[in-house]
């Protein structure tokens, strides 16, 4: 791929490469009509069908000029996934987007029982280990945008282009899901060839223990976590809605003991906060 194509695709490149490599039968993107026209030329060059439909409000807030764009190497798939989207057929949508069957099943069951998508903490509770390859902290779906629209918009402005840092585009059933890790590994290998700087940046952002406060608020560290103790030498400069005053205190220390309803920084500084550690390795 040309550098100009990679720079244009930016963080849509995961979906583009997923379709090109055959990991995903289809991809679904949101963008302006102007951006679509440029994307269409790139897709034509690489043998990918690219069509757009009017944006559906059920996918959450958007600018008034946004459209839904579908990609596939098989033209017939675009009509299939659009119809599945409009009918909210989750099983068909998941399969056409290349999600593992176990993840599709987990999402459907959890969503039905809880009336929301599973958050990272929900997923980590099902995981023995947590692979950074399928860290989905920065991957927000339509369900999140719709239910938490105001906070989502504020969060999006805060983190900017980091919003879609990822190697998978779905919600995994666990952070040790073998099928998700396999797909992420294939995509990462290709990204290291096509866009090595973005791959290195993605690795750096996704890897490391995370002090998870809520869906929009967490800190990622360079360090190690064992039982309740997080030892670190650096708090990564990745913006989220984590309380600034607490972050500043954490940055002055190098150890946190994590309890159910509070944190202890350094030797004895107690902070009231519900947080858990998700250790992405």
**10 Å Cβ neighbour count for 93?**
18
pLDDT band at residue 96 under the 50/70/90 scheme: very high
pLDDT more than 90, % of the chain: 67
Q: How many residues does the chain have?
A: 281
Q: Which two tokens stand for residue 182?
A: 């396999």
Query: What would the pLDDT profile of 176-193 be if each residue is shown by its tens digit?
Result: 999 999 999 999 999 999
Q: Which DSSP helix (H) or strand (E) runs through 235?
A: strand 229-235
Q: Tell whether 225 and 183 lie within a shared domain.
A: no
DSSP-based three-state secondary structure for 149 = helix
Q: Tell whether 141 and 274 lie within a shared domain.
A: no
Q: Tell whether 257 and 243 lie within a shared domain.
A: yes
Q: How much is the pLDDT for 121?
A: 92
Given 188, 206, 224, which residue is the final one in a domain?
206
Given 206, 227, 257, which residue is the final one in a domain?
206
Q: How much is the pLDDT for 214?
A: 87
Centroid of chain to Cα 93: 18
pLDDT band at residue 268 under the 50/70/90 scheme: confident
Q: Tell whether 94 and 39 lie within a shared domain.
A: yes
pTM score, whole prediction: 0.89
Q: Which residues pair with 181 in a beta bridge?
A: none
Q: Tell whether 238 and 189 lie within a shared domain.
A: no
Q: Has residue 140 got a pLDDT over 60?
A: yes
Q: Tell whether 138 and 239 lie within a shared domain.
A: no
Q: How much is the pLDDT for 155?
A: 64
Q: Has residue 123 got a pLDDT over 70?
A: yes
Q: Which residues pair with 31 in a beta bridge?
A: 67
DSSP-based three-state secondary structure for 88 = coil
Of 191, 171, 184, which is closest to residue 131 (Cα–Cα)? Answer: 184
Query: What would the pLDDT profile of 221-245 be if each residue is shown by its tens digit?
Result: 999 999 899 999 999 977 678 898 9
Q: What is the mean pLDDT of residues 144-170?
A: 67
Domain boundaries, position 116: 3-206
Q: Tell whether 276 and 172 lie within a shared domain.
A: no
> From CA 193, how far away is CA 104, in angstroms rounded?
30
Q: How many structural domains are present in the chain?
A: 2
Q: Tell whether 258 and 124 lie within a shared domain.
A: no
Q: Has residue 59 got a pLDDT over 70?
A: no
Query: For 41-89, where are the E strands, in sequence order?
Result: 49-54, 66-72
Given 161, 180, 206, which residue is the final one in a domain?
206
Q: Tell whether 29 and 128 lie within a shared domain.
A: yes
Q: Tell whether 73 and 155 lie within a shared domain.
A: yes
> From CA 265, how far away is CA 256, in angstroms rounded?
5
Q: Tell whether 189 and 219 lie within a shared domain.
A: no
Answer for the pair 157, 209: CB distance below 8 angstroms, yes or no. Answer: no
Q: Which two tokens stand for residue 44?
A: 């034509």
Q: Which two tokens stand for residue 246?
A: 């607490």
Q: Tell whether 134 and 25 lie within a shared domain.
A: yes
């Amino acid at each position: 791929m040309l550098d100009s194509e990679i720079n244009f695709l930016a963080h849509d490149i995961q979906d583009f490469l997923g379709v090109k490599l055959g990991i995903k039968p289809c991809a679904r993107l949101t963008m302006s009509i102007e951006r679509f026209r440029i994307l269409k030329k790139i897709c034509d060059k690489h043998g990918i069908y690219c069509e757009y439909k009017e944006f559906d409000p059920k996918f959450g807030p958007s600018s008034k000029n946004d459209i839904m764009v579908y990609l596939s190497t098989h033209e017939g798939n675009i009509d299939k996934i659009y119809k599945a989207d409009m009918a909210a057929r989750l099983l068909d949508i998941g399969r056409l987007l290349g999600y593992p069957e176990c993840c599709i099943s987990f999402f459907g069951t959890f969503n039905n029982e809880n009336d929301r998508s599973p958050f990272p903490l929900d997923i980590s509770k099902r995981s023995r280990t947590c692979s950074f390859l399928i860290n989905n902290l920065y991957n927000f779906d339509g369900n999140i945008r719709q239910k938490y629209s105001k906070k989502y918009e504020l969060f999006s402005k805060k983190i900017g282009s980091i919003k879609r840092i990822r190697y998978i585009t779905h919600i995994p059933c666990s952070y040790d899901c073998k099928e998700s890790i396999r797909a992420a590994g294939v995509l990462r290998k290709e990204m290291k060839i096509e866009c090595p700087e973005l791959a290195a940046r993605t690795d750096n952002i996704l890897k490391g223990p995370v002090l998870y406060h809520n869906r929009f608020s967490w800190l990622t560290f360079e360090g190690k976590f064992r039982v309740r103790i997080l030892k670190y030498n650096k708090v990564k400069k990745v913006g989220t809605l984590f309380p600034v005053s607490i972050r500043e205190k954490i940055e002055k220390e190098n150890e946190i003991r994590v309890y159910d309803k509070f944190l202890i920084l350094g030797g004895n500084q107690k902070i009231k906060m519900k947080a858990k550690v998700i250790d992405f390795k």
